[in-house]
Chain A
Amino acid sequence: MPKQKLNPLPAAAFQILMSLADDDLHGYEIMRRVEEQTDGRTRIGPGTLYSSIQALLDAGFVAEVASRSDEDLNDERRRYYRMTAAGRKAARDEAERLADVLRVARAKKILRGEYV
């Protein structure tokens, strides 16, 4: 059984890290946040979501937290996840790697314009 590698970050793991950039979230909120930040193009199912979270937990990129910092938003039935400093660095590295890819794509005239 191949162990999920996180270097480079798989797309789902990268999106999950980005979803956790601002808030501690539970599984369904992560799924919705990923859907929003990809304009509805990516909906992560339970298997993909939790296998990615498990890999991120193993790598120390996210941590499970007992409750959210905002107690009004807590639901005791849920598990909440928080991005760690290592996770933030991994997300930044991946974003920079993607930015490099974009620079090459622009240099090769595959992609035009300043923004994507």
Chain B
Amino acid sequence: MFERFCALLLRIYPAEFRRAYGREAVQLIRDRACHERGFFLRVRLLMDLTIDLFATSLHGWQPGKPLLARIDGAPRFDIIEVHRPRSEALAAGMLTSILIFASFTLLFQPKALPNAPAQLGKGSGPGIPGADSHDSAQQAVATDPEAHHKLIAAIAANLKQLYVDRAIGQRLADALLAYDKNGEYESLDMAADLAARINKDIQTTSRALGIPRGVFIADVVYSARPLPTGPPPPMTAEMRERSRAALLQQNCLFETIETLPHNVGYMKLNGFADATSCQETTSRAMASVNNVDALIVDLRDNGGGFGDTALQIAGYLFDRPTYLYDPRRNSPVPARTASPISGNKLVDKPVYVLTSSRTQSAAEYFVYNLKMLKRATIVGETTAGHQHSGAFHRITDHFGMGIQEAAPPDNPFPVKGWEVIGIEPDVKVSRTEAFDAARKLAESQARRR
């Protein structure tokens, strides 16, 4: 559906532009729509496209050099086209695009799809017999109607057999099979769009069944690269040592630790490294900001990692053992922080956490809990919305799915998770504006102290 919207809008651009870059332009608009959610960002996207359309139409589109080979002495014919649309067509098109985008920005909230699967540890669920040999091309499953049906049937079988609540799994499976029977997946030419639509249907059906927003149910993943057929081989002692050395060389993913003016601490952490290798580095990092009057933790480029390091950092922010919600049943991460920590002075200091649409998984675990506990002000963009709390099952070379197979622990907080919906910031600004916004807030708090 989204592609149709874009295709319609792009008809207003000069024809040669569409021929040369139409597909890329659709992809670009789709990428922006995926990452720029919320009313303000959607309006901004609409305005940007309107201005761009004006600029492109006014300045014209200059096609590239002809690629036809010249043959000496042979006659040659080129086609000359009118580059600019008629003014009345332009005016009508502008009005139509504004109306379409106004409705689109309000109604459409797509989910950004990861290129790689959430977890690759398991792969025992029902797959499609013989499908692997047919889908080496990235779109093969999506473009073949028969493969469509087989894919939906395999997803439905997984839901029915593996989802934690068998009755709900059955109803989710029935819903997907009914959509498929009605031909609602047939028009989806792109594999990624098919996965997105199935996920949307799983979400919609689960809401109707009374499952709260934010709870992980299942997530169909499309990967352009072939998915692994099994779990990775266990690490040898030598591999572990190499990994540890590499992490230490990267300062355990602490990109920046510094004290800004007005005694504001700033810490940019691009991943939560394994605590078995990085516990000491994390302790030293926290000790280096122990005397600040306010702390900014920058997780804008943090794609997750190990929850135990997130728990270790959170431990410095509380004066008593504090429960952090982890959506995984039997999680290896302890449920409570190790607070209080001897000599720590951060428990009563204001904390600001910077987020972006790339902040996900263990980073979202950290953000979610600090927000629910009202211990930090979240500044930036809504996070990605990937809990990664299910078991992953490979279906074909390019499709797999995560499923919630075990009941998640009881959640004492009012928002029951962050799957799909992400974590809404307290101060909503773009990722590029987040640092300045948090710094102003932190300086203001630090001055008061």
Contacts and interface: CB of A to CB of B under 8 A. Distances in A.
B52 interface: yes
B432 interface: yes
Contacts of B55: 45, 47-48
A109 interface: no
Contact of B21 (A2, A46, A75, A78): A46
A27 B62 contact: no
Interface in B406-443: 430, 432-433
Which residue of B65, B430, B432 has the most chain A CB atoms within 10 A of its CB atom? B432
Contact of A46 (B52, B62, B225): B52
A49 interface: yes
A11 B61 CA distance: 17
Nearest to B34: A28
A31 B24 CA distance: 12
Contacts of B64: 54, 57-58
B62 A47 contact: no
A53 B27 CA distance: 16
Contact of B48 (A39, A45, A53, A54): A45
B49 interface: yes
Contacts of A75: 115, 224
Contacts of B17: 47, 50-51
A107 interface: no
A39 B27 contact: no
B62 A54 contact: yes
Contacts of A45: 48-49, 51-53, 55-56
Contacts of B13: 46-47
A39 B432 contact: yes
A22 interface: no
Contacts of B48: 43, 45
B122 interface: no
A57 B51 CA distance: 24
Contacts of A28: 27-28, 31-32
A2 B58 CA distance: 11
A50 B24 contact: yes
Interface in B35-86: 48-49, 51-53, 55-57, 59-65, 83-84
Contacts of A74: 225
Nearest to B436: A39
A79 B13 CA distance: 20
Chain A interface size, as a band, is 20 to 34
Contacts of A47: 13, 17, 25, 52-53, 55-57, 61
Interface string A47-79: 111110111011000000000000000111111
Contacts of A57: 64
Contacts of A26: 24
A44 B61 CA distance: 15
A40 interface: yes
Contacts of A110: none
Given A1-B62, A54-B20, A48 B56 contact: yes
A108 interface: no
A78 B56 contact: no
A79 B224 contact: no
A36 interface: yes
Which residue of A36, A40, A47 has the most chain B CB atoms within 10 A of its CB atom? A47
A54 B63 contact: yes
A20 to B, nearest CB: 16
A40 B32 CA distance: 14
Which residue of B24, B56, B83 has the most chain A CB atoms within 10 A of its CB atom? B24
Contacts of A40: 430, 432-433
Interface in A76-97: 76-79
B322 interface: no
Nearest to B430: A40
A50 B25 contact: yes
Contacts of A54: 20-21, 62-64
28 contacts: A1-B60, A1-B84, A2-B59, A4-B62, A26-B24, A27-B24, A27-B25, A27-B28, A28-B31, A45-B49, A45-B52, A46-B21, A46-B49, A47-B13, A47-B55, A48-B52, A49-B28, A50-B20, A50-B21, A50-B24, A53-B21, A54-B20, A54-B64, A57-B64, A75-B224, A76-B224, A78-B24, A78-B27
Given A2-B60, A75-B224, A79-B24, 6 more contacts: A1-B60, A1-B62, A46-B13, A47-B17, A53-B21, A54-B62
10 nearest A-B residue pairs (beta carbon): A45-B52, A47-B56, A46-B25, A40-B432, A50-B21, A28-B31, A1-B60, A47-B52, A28-B28, A27-B28
